[in-house]
């Protein structure tokens, strides 16, 4: 069974004016779609991968198989980490956990933005649950907390293709926009 490019959780223009439909066309329609296509090529040529879930492949593979499988998973998770009309301070259990782990939203925001801004080159910044405490981690390239004991709650993609059309080289502005206008705290609450 071939993997399919998952549906976006919102219309391609729904994140405008913060993230343009053009960015989504390239990021989702080209990059994410290419990872799915490449993964299917690996699965087709390696019977040991056939019948495995995406998560099983991510957790058990390396090299090109891992890179493509993890990028399929990471991008799908990223799309759900945003929503139209999102952003701002969290509510519910995630707000309580942020208060407990970071001493408040402002400290969380500072640490999350710093992690995303200082991820050298391509990668991701994540809010994860490590045991009973929240933590911020950054990963390079296709690396993902899915391969660790830490549970991902939300992520921001800091590969240049995630923001370059709309923000050019202003990664910090993209990060601020994500936190102020896009982050999906409902998704983080569901994952918590």
| pLDDT, tens digit, 9 for 90 and up, residues 29-52 | 999 999 999 999 999 999 999 999
d(CA 151, CA 135): 10
Phi first, then psi, for residue 180 (nearest 5°) are -85, -30
Q: Percent of the chain, pLDDT > 90? A: 99
Domain span including residue 170: 93-191
Cα 151 to Cα 131: distance, rounded to the nearest angstrom: 9
Asked if 77 and 152 touch (Cβ cutoff 8 Å), the reply is yes
Q: Both 76 and 101 in a single domain?
A: no
Coil, strand or helix at 136: strand
Q: Are residues 101 and 153 in the same domain?
A: yes
Task: Look at residue 67 and tell me if it is in a domain.
Answer: yes
Quick check: is 34 in a domain?
Answer: yes
Same domain for 105 and 160: yes
pTM (predicted TM-score):
0.97
Residue 64 lies in a domain: yes
Task: Report in angstroms the alpha-carbon separations of 62 from 13, 42, 66.
Answer: 35, 12, 5
User: Among 125, 114, 131, 127, which residue's Cα sits nearest to residue 157?
Assistant: 125
Q: What is the mean pLDDT of residues 17-33?
A: 98
Confidence of residue 1 (pLDDT cuts 50, 70, 90): confident
C-alpha 78/C-alpha 99 separation (Å) is 23
Per-residue model confidence (pLDDT) at position 21: 98
Model pLDDT, residue 65: 98
Indicate which CATH number applies to the domain containing 37: 1.10.287.990
Residue 107 is assigned to a structural domain of this protein: yes
Helix (H, G, I), strand (E, B) or coil at 20: coil
Does position 105 have pLDDT exceeding 90, yes or no?
yes
Q: Is the pLDDT of residue 116 over 80?
A: yes
Could you read off the pLDDT of 161-190 as tens digits, one per residue?
999 999 999 999 999 999 999 999 999 999
How many structural domains does the chain have? Answer: 2
What is the domain-level CATH number for residue 135? 3.55.40.20
Region 65-88 average pLDDT: 98
Residues 136 and 178 in one domain: yes
In a domain, 168, yes or no: yes
Identify whether 16 is preceded by a cis peptide bond (ω within 30 of 0): no
């Amino acid at each position: 069974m071939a993997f399919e490019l998952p549906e976006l959780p919102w219309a391609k223009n729904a994140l405008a004016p913060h993230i343009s439909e053009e960015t989504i066309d390239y990021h989702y329609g080209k990059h994410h779609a290419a990872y799915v296509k490449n993964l299917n090529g690996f699965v087709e040529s390696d019977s040991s991968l056939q019948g495995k879930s995406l998560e099983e492949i991510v957790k058990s593979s390396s090299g090109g198989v891992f890179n493509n499988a993890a990028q399929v998973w990471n991008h799908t998770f990223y799309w759900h980490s945003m929503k139209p009309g999102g952003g701002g301070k969290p509510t519910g259990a995630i707000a309580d956990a942020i208060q407990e782990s970071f001493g408040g939203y402002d400290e969380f925001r500072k640490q999350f933005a710093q992690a995303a801004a200082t991820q050298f080159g391509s990668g991701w910044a994540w809010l994860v649950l490590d045991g009973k405490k929240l933590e911020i981690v950054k990963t390079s390239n296709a690396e993902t907390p899915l391969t660790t004991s830490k549970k991902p709650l939300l992520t921001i993609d800091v590969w240049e293709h995630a923001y370059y059309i709309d923000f050019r080289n202003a990664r910090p502005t993209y990060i601020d926009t994500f936190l102020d206008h896009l982050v999906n705290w409902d998704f983080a609450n569901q994952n918590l």
